[in-house]
Amino acid sequence: MKNYMIILVILFSQISFSQINLGPASGFGDKNLGPLVDNAGTIDFQMLSFHEKAKVFGVGTKKTKIKGSMFLYDNWNYHGIIQIAGKKFKLNNINFNIEQDAFMSKMGGDSVVVFDSNFIDDVKVNNKSFKYLYDSSEGKKKNFEVIHQLNDNVMLLKEYSLKVILADPNPMLNRPMDEIKKREKHVLYKDGELVNFKLHKKNILKLIDSNKVKDVKDFVVKYHLSYKNQGHVVRILRYYDSL
């Protein structure tokens, strides 16, 4: 039964790292993607079609160097627990491919296994929890890191995305090669809806019951905490939970 459950959630086509970490196409710096490239030579990965991504990373062409990675973590030495239908499966080498919005596990050599998030109830990577939630603004489900869960209907989340900064021959810009950079933003899940969420005092205090706001403010002052610091915000919300 255990093997059967694994089959349900794994796409057994093994993917070569050479297919995931693709190098940029030669001559991409001519900015053929037109309006997708801003004045700083940056491309938003979420705006690219498959063919445009292929142009950026040179599918079918000789690879050249590119800085950065599509993966959330710099290595595969992360432990994970994937929960499926109430059962938990441990992995010793899990990573998250931001571009494909999928968790992966290294299988030896240069191959990985891709997990289908539609069959996963919960994912934990080094004690960080992830949820697969529907984003009505994009009309699809996506993976989000859970920063703090106040209750079943309210969660503070983090969303990861990628951007590509194009190489430039100008030595003053110090951009000798294309670079993939990770981006992150906070999102609030409330009553089934996802909305962008900035970490600042007004927004954080809106999550607090009015009769406990003073206690929370006093706690922030006492311990010199910042409403703009994610670690501090988690500490604030945990204190609120304890009241």
Write down the pLDDT at residue 89: 85
Q: Name the β-bridge partners of 183.
A: 161
Residue ranges covered by each domain of the chain:
2-197, 198-243
Write down the pLDDT at residue 46: 52
Write down the pLDDT at residue 177: 80
Q: Name the β-bridge partners of 104.
A: 95, 114
Q: What share of the chain is helix, strand, coil (3-state, %, to 5)?
A: 30, 35, 35
pTM for the predicted model, two decimal places: 0.76
| List of residues 6+ apart from 199 with CB closer than 8 A | 186, 227, 228, 229, 230, 233
Residue 203 has which token pair? 């927004």
SS3 category, 99: coil
Write down the pLDDT at residue 15: 39
Q: Name the β-bridge partners of 114.
A: 11, 104
Reading the chain (243 residues) residue by residue, the pLDDT tens digits are: 344 334 344 443 343 333 333 233 323 333 344 444 445 444 454 545 444 544 444 444 444 567 888 899 999 999 999 888 888 888 899 999 998 899 988 877 777 888 889 988 889 999 899 999 999 999 999 999 999 999 989 999 999 998 888 777 888 888 778 788 899 999 999 999 999 999 999 999 999 999 999 999 999 999 999 999 999 999 999 999 999
**74-83: long-range contacts, CB 8 A cutoff, minimum separation 24:** 76/106, 78/125, 78/126, 79/125, 79/126, 80/105, 80/123, 80/124, 80/125, 80/126, 81/123, 81/124, 82/9, 82/115, 82/120, 82/122, 82/123, 83/120, 83/121, 83/122, 83/123
Q: How many CB atoms lie within 10 A of CB 208?
A: 18
Write down the pLDDT at residue 50: 43
